[in-house]
Amino acid sequence: MDATTLARFMAKVDRTGDCWLWTGRKQYQGYAVFVIKSNPKLAHRISYLHHHGEIPVDCVVRHKCLNKHCVNPNHLEAGTLAENQADRVRDGTDARGEKHWSASLTAEQVIQIRVLAEIGADRRHTTLGNMFAVDRRTITQIINRTRWKHIH
């Protein structure tokens, strides 16, 4: 990264605490974004590249501090997707169910859908979809437990 780009990057970093917090643009999932030559990049990856070098093939940059906005190179490490997912499950930051950015149902509604389908209140998935303002395919996936598997 050239000196001008690095200066522009660091101008968007608040280094007052242990985590170096990104003050610039963030994507819809909350990750920090830095634009280089009209190309948006994840800021934590840029920080890792600058301080640690190339990201190993088949690896992602993981936050050891659990803070999506942190770009402190001491809080970043390379790891596999499987390790990253295991971290998210272990740390309770896995975006499943209501925590997922695109969730339109609550866990309570999922349980209601399954109960209504089980007791046969309405076997038409289209009708249940209309009741809960979701597509009938979503209803089918909820009932078959291919979606919302973690809700029993």
> Beta strands of 43-106 (E only): which ranges?
60-63, 76-79
Q: Is the pLDDT of residue 102 over 60?
A: no
Q: Which amino acid is at 43?
A: A
pTM: 0.63
Domain boundaries, the chain: 3-94, 99-143
HSE-CB for 105 with a 13 A CA cutoff:
24
Instruction: Give the rounded percent of residues in the chain with a pLDDT score beyond 90.
Output: 42
CATH of domain 3-94: 3.90.75.20
Query: Hey, how many other C-beta atoms are within 10 angstroms of the C-beta on 101?
Result: 9
Query: Residue type at 79?
Result: G
